[in-house]
Amino acid sequence: MSSTVDKIKGLANEAAGNVKQGIGKATDNERLQAEGKAQEVKGEGQQLKGDAKQAAHDTADKIKGKI
C-alpha cells in the first residue's frame, strides 16, 4: 500500500472515530465512545505509517541521487 493510501485511510478512520465518539457522548453510550477512540487511534497509526513510508521513499530517492 502506498503512503498516500495509508494517510487517506488514516484520516478517514480518525474522522469516523471522532464522529462515533461524539455520538457516544451525546447518547451517553460509553461503548460507542470507546469504539470511536479506538478507531481514531487506529487512524493516527495509519497516518504515521504513511509518513514513515514517505520518509523512507524520500531518503531512498536522495541516496539514489548521490550514487
C-alpha grid cell, residue 7? 494517510
Q: What is the pLDDT of residues 5-31, one digit of tens each?
A: 999 999 999 999 999 999 999 999 999
Residue 1: pLDDT above 80? no
Number of domains comprising the chain: 1
Q: Determine the length of the chain.
A: 67
Q: How far is 53 from 59, CA to CA, in rounded Å? A: 10
Domain with 7, as residue range(s), is: 3-66
Give the pTM.
Answer: 0.83
Q: What is the pLDDT of residues 34-46, one digit of tens each?
A: 999 999 999 999 9
- Under the phi-then-psi rule, with left for phi > 0, alpha for psi from -120 to 50, and beta for the rest, what region is 28? left
